[in-house]
């Protein structure tokens, strides 16, 4: 039974926002008749967790559009509704890959270079809607501080399992803490216009022209000479179950794909639930999970939720480069738009039962409004939200199918502290579903929503607030959840 409360206390959010509740049509669910046809649904139980615990907190909102909300504040690593194991202890890569023979010809890098797990692969694909060369490898700095590339050679090499380097991150390159570096095939890469920083897009930081075969493994090394591509110099690797060379994958590998030319990517888990649509409760992570197991650390997303062999999940690729905004959950707080109203009541949550387009909102929409405060200590010039957990297609009965959508600004009347002292009118800023790729079914896992009113010309000052809305199309009603990371640039 839910205990109701009148309003949500003002509290800081470092992992942004979990919303769990009911999208109900007066207690009656509608089946989705226009969603992509499901051939297989994956909802795996988490076996491994992120190596490091996070100290941030989140809040959970439970209820239905006709109920007041129950609010529980919990540590981000706590359990809720379903069991969550403790984070796994750090593993030693040499022990996990004991079958690999280290060549005595390889040379070790000088002191001060990145070590295994500090610079990792966070998203990739080896084929896309443009064909076999529509591919990219996204690198992430997980070291905990800005990292300056320094190696015995010319930099850090990203290589495929044929032993050929596809790109090299040059010595002297500074990858910000939690920042990215993007390597892409210049022959076919089709996502170069995906938004990145202020006036920039997701163009490759380094390019190559030699195709990486379907299901081949990829690794990043802290050296650049191919003779030194050995386990001792490997920073990270990801490959499929069909990849024979264990130097280019971790664990047994991700499930091999049928070679469909679709807009997909493999995304490293940012929540700790392995991309599960049906697992509720708080995320146990908000940075990339790396337990040296490709099968559980990465999950498959695509814009049509096809079954290509590695599980179905509506979502989108979102390549990030050196100019892209960086996850700064701890530097913002998110509160109810109207703290004097219940979390599940207007204007904080608005349910519109009017049917929309059959591909995105045949059962209407759910509109979630929040107030974000900039606590970075300086201006914010770029603001977007990346979806890391969501109930969406393919979903079983009783679980909502939500589709994040672009929304315009709306005017709203709010009552703010001291409650009952009077109302005021505010503008709630819409958010834009970022493309490419085209997302004809709405957004999903790894999709990003931009607040386009925050720019270099109109920054959000330190201590200032912005009212934002997240519009979700409803294809099927039921219990729902949505979890964002906040990405910023100063």
For residues 457, 459, 461, 467, the Cα torsion angle rounded to the nearest 10 degrees is 130
Q: Running DSSP on this structure, what letter comes out for residue 160?
A: E
Please state, as a whole number, how many other Cβ atoms lie within 10 Å of the Cβ of residue 258.
12
**Calculated CA dihedral for residues 216, 222, 226, 229, nearest 10 degrees:** -60
The pLDDT of residue 110 = 58
The whole-number pLDDT of residue 178 equals: 98
pLDDT at res. 283 = 96
Q: Which domains does the chain have, with CATH numbers?
A: 18-87+327-489 (no CATH), 111-249 (2.60.40.1260)
The token pair that represents 203 in the structure block: 């163009």
pLDDT 10s per residue in the chain (490 long)? Answer: 323 323 323 333 333 444 544 443 322 333 333 344 444 333 333 333 334 433 343 333 333 333 333 322 222 222 222 222 223 333 323 233 333 333 334 455 555 689 999 999 999 999 999 999 999 999 999 999 999 999 989 999 999 999 999 999 999 999 999 999 999 999 999 999 999 999 999 999 999 999 999 999 999 999 999 999 999 999 999 999 999 999 999 999 999 999 999 999 999 999 999 999 999 999 999 999 999 999 999 999 999 999 999 999 999 999 999 999 999 999 999 999 999 999 999 999 999 999 999 999 999 999 999 999 999 999 999 999 999 999 999 999 999 999 999 999 999 999 999 999 999 999 999 999 999 999 999 999 999 999 999 999 999 999 999 999 999 999 999 999 999 999 999 9
Alpha-helical regions (H) of 349-419: none
Question: How is residue 142 written in tokens?
Answer: 């997980």
Tell me the CA distances in angstroms from 348 to 68, 73, 299, 413, 481, one per residue in order. Answer: 11, 18, 32, 11, 16
- Cβ atoms of 363 and 25 closer than 8 Å: yes
Measure Cα distances from 91 to 139, 283, 349, 490 in Å: 21, 22, 43, 35
- pLDDT tens column, 233-250: 999 999 999 999 999 999
Per-residue pLDDT of 418-436, as tens digits, reads 999 999 999 999 999 999 9
Would you say 343 and 349 are in contact if contact means Cβ atoms under 8 Å apart?
Answer: yes
Distance of CA 19 to the CA centre of its chain: 16
- Global confidence as pTM: 0.81
């Amino acid at each position: 039974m839910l205990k109701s409360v009148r309003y949500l206390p003002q509290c800081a959010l470092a992992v942004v926002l979990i919303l769990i509740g009911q999208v109900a049509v007066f207690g009656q669910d509608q089946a989705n008749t226009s969603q992509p046809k499901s051939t297989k649904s994956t909802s795996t139980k988490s076996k491994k967790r992120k190596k490091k615990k996070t100290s941030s907190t989140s809040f959970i909102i439970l209820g239905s559009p006709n109920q007041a909300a129950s609010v529980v504040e919990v540590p981000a690593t706590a359990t809720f509704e379903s069991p969550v194991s403790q984070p796994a202890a750090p593993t030693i890569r040499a022990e996990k890959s004991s079958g690999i023979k280290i060549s005595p010809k390889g040379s070790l890098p000088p002191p001060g270079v990145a070590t295994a797990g500090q610079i990792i692969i966070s998203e990739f694909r080896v084929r896309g809607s443009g064909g076999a060369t529509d591919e990219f490898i996204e690198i992430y700095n997980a070291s905990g501080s800005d990292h300056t590339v320094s190696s015995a050679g010319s930099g850090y090499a990203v290589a495929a399992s044929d032993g050929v380097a596809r790109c090299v991150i040059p010595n002297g390159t500074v990858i910000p803490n939690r920042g990215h570096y993007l390597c892409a095939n210049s022959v076919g890469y089709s996502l170069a216009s995906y938004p990145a920083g202020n006036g920039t897009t997701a163009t490759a930081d380094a390019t190559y022209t030699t195709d990486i075969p379907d299901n081949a493994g990829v690794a990043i090394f802290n050296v650049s000479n191919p003779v030194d591509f050995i386990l001792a110099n490997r920073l990270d690797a990801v490959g499929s179950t069909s990849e024979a060379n264990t130097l280019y994958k971790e664990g047994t590998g991700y499930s091999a794909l049928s070679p469909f030319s679709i807009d997909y990517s493999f995304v490293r888990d940012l929540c700790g639930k392995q991309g599960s649509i049906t697992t509720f409760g708080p995320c146990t992570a908000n940075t990339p999970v790396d337990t040296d197991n490709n099968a559980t650390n990465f999950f498959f997303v695509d814009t049509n939720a096809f079954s290509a062999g590695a599980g179905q999940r509506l979502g989108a690729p979102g390549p990030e480069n050196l100019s892209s905004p960086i996850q700064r959950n701890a530097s913002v707080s998110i509160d109810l738009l109207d703290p004097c109203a219940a979390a599940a009541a207007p204007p904080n949550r608005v349910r519109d039962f009017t049917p929309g387009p059959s591909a995105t909102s045949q059962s209407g929409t759910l509109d979630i409004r929040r107030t974000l405060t900039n606590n970075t200590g300086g201006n914010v010039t770029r603001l977007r939200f990346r979806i890391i957990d969501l109930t969406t297609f393919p979903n079983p009965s009783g679980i909502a199918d939500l589709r994040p959508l672009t929304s315009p600004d709306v005017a709203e009347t709010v009552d703010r502290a001291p409650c009952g002292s009077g109302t005021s009118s505010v503008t709630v800023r819409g958010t834009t579903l970022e493309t490419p790729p085209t997302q004809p079914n709405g957004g999903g896992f790894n999709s990003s929503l931009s607040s386009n009113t925050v720019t270099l010309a109109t920054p959000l000052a330190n201590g200032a607030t912005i009212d934002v809305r997240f519009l979700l199309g409803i294809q099927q009603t039921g219990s729902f959840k949505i979890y964002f990371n906040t990405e910023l640039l100063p």
